[in-house]
Structure 1
Amino acid sequence: MQVASVIPIAAPPLPVHLLRALRAVVGRELNRFLRQPTRLGSALVRPLLWFVVFSAGFNNVFGVAIVPPYETYIEYKAYMVPGLLGMVALFNGMQSSLSMVYDREMGVMRLLLTAPLARGWLLAFKLLAGTCLSVLQMVVFLAIAWAFGVEVPLTNLPGLLVAMACGATMLAALGLMLSVYVKQLENFAGTMNFVIFPMFFISPALYPLWKLEESGAWWLLHLAEWNPFTHAVEAMRYALVGQFTALSWSVVVGCGVVFFVAALWGYDPQRGWVKTKGGGG
């Protein structure tokens, strides 16, 4: 009896393998988002409420002095736009973290992390998916702000988009890191409140930092200066007027790398929650 020989199938080249994984991970997140059109609306309700209501109510309260990056007085709604873009990215970063915790409880993370690819690539693709969703929502909000009279010079738009993408990546990496340590969905709401609201309110998102200095709140001023979200907002604020701030860009890139490395460490089966949870189930 003649036994047919089995011809082994060659593994695809690494770039092809990476492209397939990228399409699977990022495509899954984008498809989930596009199948839920109300998710975009709910993500924009909060910043639009701040933009429409607070810009009208506080326009004469928060006078914006001529300080960098501005060379003239501006309307309060124009000042708010970078901060509200940061709000969109911050909340979406936390939403991505919630998605990771949910996938872990449902067992999806176990399947993902046992794929025949380096763990770093898989987490990088999850990070890219979160960044894409944030930038998509930020672009929609920017278009609405434009319709309400906030001018964005077309020559400054490429730099602003890069700043938006970098800020969104940093905040998505923060969410990825937090997903390591949030063990259950029930604990997530408390974690969001503990992270989101201090980061947002102790920043120049809604009022310039010199207001804190003027009021004598030095400890709040120093906290705001050490807040990574502050520098994400400032990078977008400078980019919106065609300027560059090396300090803010350095903090955004540096913190993004630190958060992602911390997430990698947490998802390491030898050290992180995967070892503790017995395989990520």
Structure 2
Amino acid sequence: MVIHPYLTSLRAIVGREALRFLHQRERFVAALVRPLVWLVVFAAGFRAALGLSIIPPYQTYITYETYIVPGLCGMILLFNGMQGSLSLVYDREMGSMRLLLTAPLPRGWLLFAKLVGSTAISILQALVFLAIAAAFGVTTAPLGYLTVIPALAIAGLMLGALGLALSSFIKQLENFAGVMNFVIFPMFFLSSALYPLWKMAESSELLHDICAVNPFTHAVELIRFALYGQLNLPALGWTIFATCAFMAFALWGYDPARGLTRRKS
């Protein structure tokens, strides 16, 4: 049976990402430690200080731990997307990236296959975190654990595409930490991951507006509603739009004729 070369390349690249993940078990643990610290330690302190009104998709008052779980799932996806960009920079320095991009297939497909592999790992990590959160008593509707998977996939693709775009102009591994601090933490803290947007509006309208246009906010809200079996159409639309924009920038960046990597590829 002849397998189409596109499928063969997709299987090979996704398999390579899976093997890399299996050989880096500390990466799996690190991805869970950060959100668990927020869930177990910080949430206990914020619970009494932060009052939460009844806002969709919630139909009753909730604990702070319940509110931040979708944001912490987004944190896992965000950090894994940045980890994917780090691996691309490493592959470029080692020369394996050049071999990948010179394969007789469209460069866009090869980058998409890389994106699918990293997103699949992100979804697995997020589902494990949801299971651990459930063990701590932070649960959702049983059906929500199924309906959240497509939302995790879309959000993971968006944040993975952001990582691809960043990796197109990060030339050295040493520069990655600075870029990570410049991108990850503003995206995470200036979003609805930790606080509702109406809380932001109470302190600063400017902060509220920044959070409202942050793509990460829409990814988190997409996950939040999906955990309760609901579809947030505006969040879905903006997340897909951001995915396309980041992917277009990544394709431009990895185009040796025009992009930022033309001197390196």
Q: Aligning the two structures, in what range does the TM-score lie when normalised by the shorter sequence?
A: over 0.9
Structure 1 position 158, deviation (Å): 2.4
Of 220, 231, 242 in structure 2, the residue corresponding to residue 255 of structure 1 is 242
CA RMSD for the aligned pairs? 1.3
Structure 1 position 274, deviation (Å): 3.9
Q: Is the 8 A contact 2:169 2:261 kept in 1?
A: no
Structure 1 position 273, deviation (Å): 3.2
Say if 1:91 and 1:193 are closer, same or farther in 2 by CA, change over 3 A.
same
Q: Work out the CA distance in 1 between the residues paired with 2:125 and 2:50.
A: 27
1:219 corresponds in structure 2 to 206
The total of aligned residue pairs comes to 265
Give yes or no for the alignment of 1:57 onto 2:45.
yes
Q: Work out the CA distance in 2 between the residues paired with 1:39 and 1:72.
A: 36
- Summarize the alignment of residues 175-186 of structure 1 with structure 2, pairs less than 5 Å apart: 175-186=163-174
1:238 corresponds in structure 2 to 225
Amino acid at match of 1:111: L
Of 6, 9, 14 in structure 2, the residue corresponding to residue 26 of structure 1 is 14
Q: SS of 1:40's equivalent?
A: helix
- Summarize the alignment of residues 89-238 of structure 1 with structure 2, pairs less than 5 Å apart: 89-215=77-203, 217-238=204-225
Unaligned 5+ residue runs, structure 2?
Answer: none
Q: Point out the structure with max Rg over C-alpha.
A: 1
Q: Work out the CA distance in 1 between the residues paired with 2:165 and 2:142.
A: 35
Q: SS of 1:92's equivalent?
A: helix
Structure 1 position 35, deviation (Å): 1.7
Greater Cα shift, 101-110 or 157-166: 157-166
Q: Work out the CA distance in 2 between the residues paired with 1:103 and 1:62.
A: 44
Give yes or no for the alignment of 1:265 onto 2:248.
no
Of 54, 57, 68 in structure 1, the residue corresponding to residue 56 of structure 2 is 68
Structure 1 position 36, deviation (Å): 2.0
Q: SS of 1:143's equivalent?
A: helix
Unaligned 5+ residue runs, structure 1?
Answer: 1-11
Q: SS of 2:55's equivalent?
A: coil
Q: Work out the CA distance in 2 between the residues paired with 1:192 and 1:37.
A: 21
Percent identity, aligned pairs only, is: 57
Q: SS of 1:220's equivalent?
A: helix
